[in-house]
Amino acid sequence: MNINFWLNGVNRHAEISPDTLLIDFLRKQGCFSVKRGCETANCGLCTVLMDGRPVLSCSTLAARIEGKKIVTLEGMQREAQEFGSFLANEGAEQCGFCNPGFIMNVFAMLNEIKDPTEEQIKEYLAGNLCRCSGFVSQTRSILKFLKYKKAQEEA
């Protein structure tokens, strides 16, 4: 089956098997930020953006991206690096394995909710599993990042 899609801003065409999972397809395209975790759609490690909304690539067929815009961490390096510094400064990236899916969900949340409360942040990120921390430092890094972005907009 032939699919046409956008991957990180580039129009692409590919031949796939109808049962190909999106995670496997994206990794074959060189998107190694998309990681396997639980393979049961419970940990958020495989999160990518499809038309701006987060999807779990481990439970999505690649055929579903026909005509869609897919963004992985590779497609948003500048934004991820900027936010990643806040994660690092708060000690929130201990092993870093969950960071790509976590960062994808943070940016999806910010596209949807311009000024989220701490409760909304916790609710939105509930599908991300981090085995190293209790999300206190991640939440703190998001709040500081939001404050920084707001100050930039006001300047």
- Per-residue model confidence as pLDDT tens digits over 47-65: 999 999 999 999 999 999 9
- Per-residue pLDDT of 130-147, as tens digits, reads 777 667 888 899 999 999
Is there a single domain that holds both residue 82 and residue 137? yes
How far is it, in rounded angstroms, from Cα 139 to Cα 146?
A: 11
17: containing domain: 2-74
Paired with 70 in beta bridges are: 7, 50
Is there a single domain that holds both residue 13 and residue 29? yes
In the predicted model, is pLDDT for residue 95 greater than 80? no
Is there a single domain that holds both residue 22 and residue 34? yes
Rounded to two decimals, the pTM is 0.90
Is there a single domain that holds both residue 66 and residue 84? no
The amino acid that residue 24 corresponds to is D
Is there a single domain that holds both residue 37 and residue 81? no
Is there a single domain that holds both residue 130 and residue 144? yes
Count of domains observed in the chain: 2
Nearest one of 91, 42, 98, 52 to 75, comparing CA atoms: 52
Give the CATH number, domain containing residue 47.
3.10.20.30
Strands 2-7 and 69-71: parallel
In the predicted model, is pLDDT for residue 6 greater than 70? yes
